[in-house]
Amino acid sequence: MNQTVALRDVQSAARTLFGRIRRTPLIPLDAVAQRVGVPVFAKAENFQIGGAFKIRGATNAVALAMQRGPRPAGVVTYSSGNHGQGCAIAARSFGLPAIVVMPVDAPRVKVQSTLDYGAEVQFAGRTSEERRVVAESIAIERGFLLVRPFDDADVVAGQGTVGLEIMEDLPETETVLVPCGGGGLTSGIALAVTALKPSARVFSVEPEAAPKLARSMEAGRIVSSPPGASIADGLRPNAPGAIPFEIVKNRLAGSVLVDDDAIERAVRLLLSRAKIVAEPSGAATVAALMSGKITNPKGPVVAVLSGGNIDPAVLARILARDEPW
């Protein structure tokens, strides 16, 4: 497995993905801009095929595996939801079967969507590590391509195309906020943005219950710990991946934490003021801005909304609280 990622890999991924994914828009967030005093835009990956950015890395990884040969018997991954859907879509586009190993408490909407995209779903535990062991076993036993959720150079390069699009569509961008799970999206965007514009600042955003990258950045090495409960289910791996961490440790301007209440308020704000449905993991960046976690942000600011796959029952509960900022 390739262990390094460069800007040229992200640019190559953009060519591979052309026509296979959507180029998502930058949407002005006037309500947030009024709060922080600088222009703010949402990079709306909730409008992506599959409802999240994950199809980028998954499709790039499968496409490159097909080019390198031999043709895999199928695709297998482990995921709390969005990466699984991305892999299911990517596998189907190349005529391959897919198996997604999901946690037993995965959101119903993500499980059903994964099934709808043609994948077989297997359940294993509640942690990423438990799912990884099962997926690796399937890959060996059945000759399937294992597409890791974040600790894979081809996946990171695919996710980095989000950063390319941001800088192409808004070259004056000064600050980018990225939700961070295992670090695939964060590292890909940080690589692309800072390579194209070294003065731009990229921040990761995590839930307080799962501060794996923040702790790792403080320690100067990867720190692993079981995450606590959080509504941001997609941001709860035990630790950042080795490949993402190697990229971000010298490229991030900071790593900030937000609580679940702020994330829920961000979900409500996005729907009520911008008419955008974002899942809690995706809304974490707006939560960071609105709660003042980014001190004196320099604009324009782009808040990456990583996905919109929220369980309707969860959304209804969040909206019912109706607490203002």
- Which tens digit of pLDDT belongs to each residue from 293-315? 999 999 999 999 999 999 899 99
Please report which confidence band the pLDDT of residue 1 belongs to, taking 50, 70 and 90 as the band edges.
Answer: very low
Give the whole-angstrom CA distance, residue 9 versus residue 157: 6
Q: How confident is the model at residue 4 (pLDDT cuts 50, 70, 90)?
A: confident
Residue 135 shares a structural domain with residue 224: no
For residues 287 and 252, the answer to whether their CB atoms sit within 8 Å is no
Given a contact cutoff of 8 angstroms between Cβ atoms, the answer to whether 285 and 257 are in contact is: no
State how many domains the chain has.
2
Residues 61 and 85 in one domain: yes
For residues 99-103, give the mean pLDDT: 93
* Residue 226 and residue 260 share a domain: yes
Q: Which residue has the tokens 């923040």?
A: 214
182 and 114 inside one domain: no
Whether residues 64 and 42 share a domain: the answer is no
Extract the runs of DSSP E, i.e. beta strands, from the chain.
26-28, 40-44, 75-78, 98-102, 120-123, 145-146, 175-179, 201-207, 254-258, 301-305
CA atoms within 13 A on the CB side of 51: 20
| Cis amide prior to 70 (ω within 30 degrees) | yes
| Inside any domain, residue 1 | no
316 and 209 share a domain? yes
Q: Which CATH number fits the domain that encloses residue 43?
A: 3.40.50.1100
Neighbours of 118 (CB within 10 A): 13
42 and 116 housed in the same domain: no
pLDDT digits 0-9 by tens, 169-209: 999 999 999 999 999 999 999 999 999 999 999 999 999 99
Q: Which domain holds residue 222?
A: 7-52+154-321
Give the amino acid at 228. G
